[in-house]
Amino acid sequence: MQDTAELETLASELERKGPEATVRWALDRFEKVALASSFGLEDVCLVHMAATYRKDARIFYLDTDVLFPETYDVRDRLMDTYKIEFIRVEASIPLETQAKEYGDALWSRNPDLCCRLRKVIPLQNFLKNEDAWVTGIRREQTPARANAKVVEYDEKFGLVKVNPLAPWTSEDVRAYVDRHHIPYNPLHDKGYPSIGCVPCTRSVKPGEDPRAGRWAGTDKTECGLHQ
């Protein structure tokens, strides 16, 4: 499914129908489809949409081994609430091996390489066997995501990419979470609009860009999964 015209038509149709319809379309359309979750506000919305439609929906997360304790906790609460299991995708090498080969705290010296080892390569390996993946990215999040379509072909990973929440605002996301009483990460209420790994995430000060807390002090804004 790589025809550009077909995907653009689908994207327009599904955007009009809304995120829930888009998630259901993806789960019904593809035999091998997996939903990516970092357990942020956007992704818990998608977990709710998928799990309430099909209990056998396949949802995975990239475990970098340096996620916040609150992230693992919301994972467990979602599992308990929706009676689902998440697929854990491990980093390409253990932290100990990474430290031996590249030195301690690689994230502070070369965050791009660290993200590649702990996120990009594991995702590449996981998606090799998929026909499509579903993500929680939104256009307003970063300039790199500003042109994201609801359905598009992912050249980087070689499969269809579905972005049901692409047109949503942060207010849309929060309203959906509140309306459906979805478990979410309490760090979102403590100045963390975007939550990644512990060493590379800080709280955001009033007036700062919502993603200013990611890789603060560098010009890095993406981990490499969506660019």
Nearest to 65 by CA among 27, 93, 29: 93
Provide CB contacts within 8 A for 29, sequence distance 6+. Answer: 132
For the record, the structure tokens of 138 come out as 């939104």
- How many Å apart are CA 215 and CA 104, to the nearest integer? 17
| Helix, strand, coil abundance in the chain, percent, nearest 5 | 45, 10, 45
For the record, the structure tokens of 19 come out as 């995120």
Nearest to 66 by CA among 201, 213, 203, 199: 199
Catalytic residue set: 223
In the sheet with 132-134, reading across from the earlier edge strand, the strands are 87-90, 59-63, 33-36, 132-134, 159-162, 151-154
> Residue 154: what are its φ and ψ, rounded to 5°?
-90, 100
For the record, the structure tokens of 42 come out as 């956007």
